Amino acid sequence: MTSAASRTELRALLDELHDAASARIASIDETLAELRADRGSDVADDEHDPEGVTLSAEWARAVGIEEAARREIAEIDDAVQRWEDGTYGVCIDCGRGIPLARLRVRPFATRCVSCAEKAGA
């Protein structure tokens, strides 16, 4: 698959991405807590507030970002599990190695480029 140095680089990248996604989740959790506090028990109609983005819209945006970060963490955790199992960097369809260039761009990839194209992924 790859050299030892490349494997170390990729594992560090997975750890870095995991930390970054975890930090995004923590930040979004703070934002959601602030929105919850701003809203409080007030059920006023913020949908027609002429001063900008509504609390509801901001809430939906924050929840979407948090869900995306959680999906990313799940993909990274799966990649780390493959790392520990010794199957990291091996295409799940054809069994060949996933090129280093692809893993650098998408370190949690499970398919080589050819198989990913066939799968529409």
What's the total number of domains in the chain?
1
Q: Give tens-digit pLDDT for 90-114.
A: 999 999 999 999 999 999 999 999 9
With respect to residue 121, please indicate whether it lies within any of the assigned structural domains: no
With respect to residue 19, please indicate whether it lies within any of the assigned structural domains: yes
Q: Give tens-digit pLDDT for 13-46.
A: 999 999 999 999 999 999 889 888 876 655 555 5
Q: Which residues contact 82 (CB under 8 A, 6 or more apart)?
A: 88, 89, 90, 110
pTM attached to this predicted model:
0.76
Structural domain boundaries, residue 15? 4-86
With respect to residue 34, please indicate whether it lies within any of the assigned structural domains: yes
Q: Which residues contact 115 (CB under 8 A, 6 or more apart)?
A: 91, 92, 93, 94
